[in-house]
Structure 1
Amino acid sequence: MTSQATSKGHTLADLVQHDRVHTSLYTDPAIFETEMDKVFANTWVWVAHTSEIPEAGSYKTGYIGRQPVVTVRDRKQQVHVLLNRCRHRAATVCEGHKGKTNSFVCPYHGWSYSLDGALRGVPSPESYGDLLDKADYPLVKLRVEEYAGMIFATFKDDIEPLVDFLGPAKKWMDLFMKQGGGFPVKVGGEHRFRFPGNWKIQLENTTDAYHFPLVHKSFLSSVDKQTEEMLDFVEGPGFVEDLGNGHSVMVMIPDLVDLEANLDAPIPERFAALAEELRADYPEDQVRRIVRAVGGSGFNLNIFPNIACSMAFFRVLRPVSVTETEIHHAVITMDGGPEAGNRARLRMHEHFQGPMGFGTPDDSEAWERVQKGSNAGTDQWILLNRGLAKEQETADGRRSDVSAETGMRAAYRQWKKLMTA
């Protein structure tokens, strides 16, 4: 599908308006196929956090769009992102989710590759005579860059540097990484699931405060009064800001934007027992820093197209089909930090994000219903005009109130730019 092709009688350019998008963006298989090429194969895509590949030989498998890749650290500590496909007959060379290896060996015919993707050996090479030069058949390597411990890859060699793509989002990434509480941030495991809906439905959700009091009513009823009041932010002083290139930030709790500020503030009652336990091993100033970090940041940051730094976890989306999306919720812990602090982080993650939690199951139910409802009507639109009347220009982009749909409008502007390029 090109910018001249149509869906429901509209061109691709027409499908995204300043205040709405066409429902076919959720339902049209041809649009989805174009997204895999125009979006996911044409921009920077998040693949891993450095803590997931800490040593030489550490690897993590994943996807960019629907293309399987392996992110690996070689013996010189260089990070590579390789297409997970043997150059002989296309079998994947790595099936583990995460692990450590000395090389990649195709299980079909035994072609072996070094950690940097170079072809090192083939069984019975004499059968090829002089027809096979191993230097011509390495695993395909993508361009890789890193910021704040976040590793991104792209198929596009002439794309702008990652730091330029991230733009104003960089300062929010820096703030988010303060969740280490003075220790390095570490991915401490993840919860994976799929829902029967389009990937953009979930992309919208990360900067959607409007749904929180209704969809997460059961979660709010499960927390203490102090936490419930803190999370009553829809009418509060927070904001949503378009950061350019599809990125956006939703600040829900302004007092928790910088976790290293206001350390003299009273410790919340829900963390009093944790603070007391930490005092056995840490001085008071460090106790306060750790406790403040455990509670998570007061904002959600969306990095287009597939990663969100969301309060206290990473949310990664993977498009599977036009009507199916896989979600990874990765808990953030303190590498080398106190066991009590990391335990508290895990319990918080389970409480909201876990399969028996009070948050994510309700979210996924809403996403599924959006997809189901999208099949009603033949030429319908998704409204994204909340907060538009209050939107103001800022040094970094555009800003409106915390329940505005500014973040969604930001993502669809970038979608339109890439899809019609």
Structure 2
Amino acid sequence: MEETVKMEQIQVRNIAMDAADLVEEGRVHKSLYSNPEIFDEELEKIFNRTWVYVGHESEIPEAGSFKTSYVGHHPVIMARDRKMNIHVMENRCRHRGATVCEKHRGKTKAFTCPYHGWGYGLDGSLRAIPKPEEYEGVINKEELPLEGLRHESYQGLVFATFNNEIEPLEDYLGGAKKWLDLFVKQAGGFPVQVLGEHRFSFPGNWKIQLENTTDAYHFPIVHKSFISSLDNATADIFDFLDGEGFVEDLGHGHSVMVMIPELVDLEANLDQPIPERFEELAEALRAEGHEEGMVRRLVRAAHGTGFNLNLFPNVSCSMAFFRVLRPVSVGETEIQHVAIGGQGAPAAFNQKRMRLHEHFQGPMGFGTPDDGEAWERVQKGAAAGTDGWILVNRGMNHLHTSPDGNVTGAVCSETGMRGAYRKYKEMMAAGKEA
């Protein structure tokens, strides 16, 4: 007689691991690049809870000037009212929710919803409603402005947040303020001005780009074509992996990567001779009538700083331009490369700034296409295998303390990435039970 064996069915279910558990000191799991549930959690816990860069004050120079932007997935408008006050508001009509502005930037007297004609002032106040008699006793216009966001600025960079409990922007920037003060010196003594921008998307996760701006290790490999386009003296300057540069963790996820230490302070050593390769710009400035001290200052400032400053989570001040990222989906990120110069600066100076921007960052430049392909390959690689970790441990055993008391590693170390992921882990773990 056969013995009948009763098999007990085992219930199997996938147990989702918290994103914070996927970040370890020295490595992060590749699913952070590809898991859509983690991406949605990032939008809520990071982009909706911290200071996010939305634009530069120079982009809205006059009363009525505006620029549209995003805080995570939220479309917002940054605008100046008639008193020159800046406002950051949700780009969403309070009636049926349509966006009230679709232009990237411009100048207007008011924002009018194209669906039902509700009109809003530059400060977001609800000013006009078609057939107002139908709303008599139903609504109060004063209670229905465009929803405003808390916003603050530093050195002209405007940040906004949905988190009204967050610390002041200057406290959040912390050690990065010193480097922002140095970065704006590249305007040559003039206020920083946005000269233009271009936008593009790449098929990859936003954190891939966040890592890139504090990664010197890739430069001589990915950017061979850029280096080959330079004169010998300039190419030697970009041979910095064995130099005296460093990466410093500035706290709050921010970091600075100093590649060319002699170009950290652009107002230092102005008495040195102007290099021969910069004489053409010097002569153009002299031809415009500028005295020699100003010529030296402008020539030195025109070519940018010697460092990249990464501000968590979405903007970097990268040598000579702003790079802004916007998370679109788990596998798509929009990038803005923003050219900057000096407001009221000599024409020859701003023209040189634009040509340098086009050479590396522009859509036909040497840097952007190569970076974009590298980012795309990282995203593709994240799909390989059922398990896998991304290493960010370079230089972990060769750290020291900076004069400002911060953890610092060699220029090719991944110190900045680890600092960013430390902040990421902290924010993604918020609200979890101990």
- Give me the TM-score of the superposition, normalised by structure 2: 0.94
Q: Secondary structure at the match of 1:343?
A: helix
Deviation at 1:276, TM superposition (A): 1.2
CA distance in 1, matches of 2:204, 2:104: 24
CA distance in 2, matches of 1:206, 1:231: 15
Deviation at 1:392, TM superposition (A): 2.1
CA distance in 2, matches of 1:396, 1:220: 34
RMSD: 1.2
Q: Is the 8 A contact 1:8 1:24 kept in 2?
A: no
Q: Which runs of 5+ in 1 are unaligned?
A: 1-5
Deviation at 1:396, TM superposition (A): 4.3
Q: Is the 8 A contact 2:19 2:32 kept in 1?
A: no
Q: Which runs of 5+ in 2 are unaligned?
A: 1-12
CA distance in 2, matches of 1:320, 1:117: 26
Opposite residue 25 of structure 1, the aligned amino acid is L
Q: Secondary structure at the match of 2:293?
A: helix
CA distance in 2, matches of 1:113, 1:293: 42
Q: Secondary structure at the match of 1:10?
A: coil
2:417 to 375, 398, 408: 408
Matched, 1:21 2:67: no
Deviation at 1:11, TM superposition (A): 2.8
Q: Is the 8 A contact 2:50 2:166 kept in 1?
A: yes
Deviation at 1:269, TM superposition (A): 2.5
What does the per-residue CA deviation read over 1:279-320, in whole Å, with 9 as the maximum and x for residues that have no partner? 121111100000001010000000110010000000000000
Opposite residue 413 of structure 1, the aligned amino acid is R
CA distance in 1, matches of 2:142, 2:135: 14
Residue 389 (structure 1) aligns with: 397
CA distance in 2, matches of 1:361, 1:378: 30
Q: Is the 8 A contact 1:333 1:345 kept in 2?
A: yes
Matched, 1:287 2:291: no
Matched, 1:361 2:369: yes
CA distance in 2, matches of 1:378, 1:388: 27
Deviation at 1:355, TM superposition (A): 1.3
Q: Call closer, same or farther: CA 1:179–1:8 in 2, change over 3 Å.
A: farther
Deviation at 1:119, TM superposition (A): 0.6
Opposite residue 155 of structure 1, the aligned amino acid is F
What does the per-residue CA deviation read over 1:75-122, in whole Å, with 9 as the maximum and x for residues that have no partner? 122111000000000100111111111111101000011111111110
CA distance in 1, matches of 2:399, 2:207: 22
What does the per-residue CA deviation read over 1:383-418, in whole Å, with 9 as the maximum and x for residues that have no partner? 000011112234342100000101111111111111
Q: Is the 8 A contact 1:27 1:375 kept in 2?
A: yes
Q: Secondary structure at the match of 2:256?
A: strand
Aligned residues: 416
Structure 2 counterparts to residues 71-82 of structure 1, below 5 A: 71-82=78-89
Residue 3 (structure 1) aligns with: none
CA distance in 1, matches of 2:95, 2:210: 37
Structure 2 counterparts to residues 226-237 of structure 1, below 5 A: 226-237=233-244
Q: Call closer, same or farther: CA 1:7–1:265 in 2, change over 3 Å.
A: farther
Opposite residue 335 of structure 1, the aligned amino acid is Q
Residue 350 (structure 2) aligns with: 342
Structure 2 counterparts to residues 48-87 of structure 1, below 5 A: 48-87=55-94
2:163 to 156, 159, 162: 156
| Structure showing greater Rg | 2
Deviation at 1:9, TM superposition (A): 5.5
CA distance in 2, matches of 1:246, 1:8: 29
Structure 2 counterparts to residues 21-420 of structure 1, below 5 A: 21-280=28-287, 281-394=289-402, 395-420=404-429
CA distance in 1, matches of 2:405, 2:264: 17
CA distance in 2, matches of 1:57, 1:125: 26
Residues 350-359 or 247-256, more deviating: 350-359
CA distance in 2, matches of 1:224, 1:181: 24
2:17 to 2, 10, 15: 10
Deviation at 1:123, TM superposition (A): 0.2
Q: Is the 8 A contact 1:243 1:396 kept in 2?
A: no
Q: Is the 8 A contact 2:281 2:349 kept in 1?
A: yes
Deviation at 1:55, TM superposition (A): 1.2
CA distance in 1, matches of 2:343, 2:220: 33
Q: Secondary structure at the match of 2:83?
A: coil
Residue 5 (structure 2) aligns with: none
Q: Is the 8 A contact 2:202 2:333 kept in 1?
A: yes
Q: Secondary structure at the match of 1:192?
A: strand
Q: Call closer, same or farther: CA 1:310–1:117 in 2, change over 3 Å.
A: same
| Percentage of identical aligned residues | 64
Q: Is the 8 A contact 2:264 2:307 kept in 1?
A: yes
- Give me the TM-score of the superposition, normalised by structure 1: 0.97
Deviation at 1:12, TM superposition (A): 2.4
